[in-house]
Amino acid sequence: MEPTPPPEQAVLADVRRALDEDLGSGDVTAALLPDVPECAYLLCKEEAVVAGRPWFDACHRMLDPQVGIDWRVHEGQRVAAGTVLALLEGRSRALVSAERTALNFIQTLCATATTTAAHVQAVHGTGCVILDTRKTLPGLRLAQKYAVRAGGGANHRIGLYDAVMLKENHVRVAGSVAAAIAAARAAQPTLPLIVEVETLEQLREALATGCDRVLIDDFPADMRRQAVRIARAAPFEGRIPLEASGGVDLAGLRAIAQDGVDFISIGGLTKHVRAIDLSMKLGPPPG
């Protein structure tokens, strides 16, 4: 099933900002072309997971509302190198003016989806869920989190407003994990509450006080396994899920999942992305 995209206005705002940045007062090179009906195709040059169609479409439609875009693939689909993703028909000047901005969006979002899919595949069968973080490219938070969903991952909190996440500084100011949790529940009783702990003693305190999830950040393997045993044993009985984070790479990901944590959050899904190699060429596709 394809992921639900952000609200249309959010996509349009991303695209409008990006086109303004690129076009400025006008595309002086495209103005050299005759403004005639033209076709084009979008080619993927390497294996990838597709994500970013709403942004690609919006780039072209903002410059040519009558452009036709025939997608040959769906969001979240894995494609091979050499796959033609879409065919376009529109005005020649608009096609070339929108090209770079549209590619910038879809290359980046395909990269996030492809990276996420690799991490999801690494933990397949363990029951562990791969989460993103807030380490996104500035201004592309909703777009990248959409791409994570396209790659089979799940979203952590979107921003600082939709969940309370207590970390070391909050606990230090409050005096204890329990006191920080009590203050957070009193201030924001309806929001999810996530608590980061640094020791097994803090873990027991968080589990006993109650929250929606406990983050065990940078726990060594032995300590992580102890944390799982504590959280699943009486009197806690696994009621509060554990999230692991910190020092996570693809090679060691499955071992972390097999320790029994419920979630693994990974900033690299959105932070350490390498754009997928895509190109848009005028004319019909070869063959």
Segments in the chain below pLDDT 50: none
Catalytic residue, chosen from 22, 46, 198, 217, is: 217
In this prediction, residue 207 carries a pLDDT of 98
Domains in the chain: boundaries: 8-120+273-282, 123-271
Check if 2 is active-site.
no
How high is the pLDDT of residue 243?
A: 98
Pick the catalytic residue from 61, 72, 78, 167. 167
Digit-coded pLDDT (tens) for 58-73: 999 999 999 999 999 9
- The third-level CATH classification (topology) of the domain covering 123-271 is TIM Barrel (3.20.20)
CA 196 to each of CA 169, 178, 180, 254: distance values in angstroms, whole numbers, following the listed order: 10, 12, 11, 22
Pairing mode, strands 129-131 and 48-49: unpaired
Catalytic residue check, 145? no
| Catalytic hit among 134, 135, 254, 281 | 135
What is the pTM (predicted TM-score) of this model?
Answer: 0.95
Name the active-site residue from 57, 196, 205, 243: 196
DSSP string, 202-262: HHHHHHHH--SEEEEES--HHHHHHHHHHHHSTTTTT-S-EEEESS--HHHHHHHHHTT-S
**Rounded-to-integer distance, Cα 275 and Cα 287, Å:** 27
Whether residue 89 lies in the annotated active site: no
Q: Is 201 noted as a catalytic residue in this protein?
A: no
Identify the CATH number of the domain defined by range 8-120+273-282: 3.90.1170.20
pLDDT at position 287: 79
Residue 151: its H or E element: none
212 in Cβ contact with 240 (< 8 Å)? yes
| Predicted local distance difference test score (pLDDT) of residue 6 | 94
How far, in Å, CA of 206 to CA of 178, rounded? 6
Identify the active-site residue in 61, 72, 78, 100: 100
Return d(Cα 104, Cα 80) in angstroms, integer.
Answer: 20
Query: 196 catalytic, yes or no?
Result: yes
What is the sign, positive or negative, of the torsion defined by CA atoms of 27, 29, 34, 37? negative
Q: What is the pLDDT of residue 247?
A: 84
The pLDDT score that the predictor gives to residue 262 is 98
52 vs 44: CA distance, rounded Å: 13
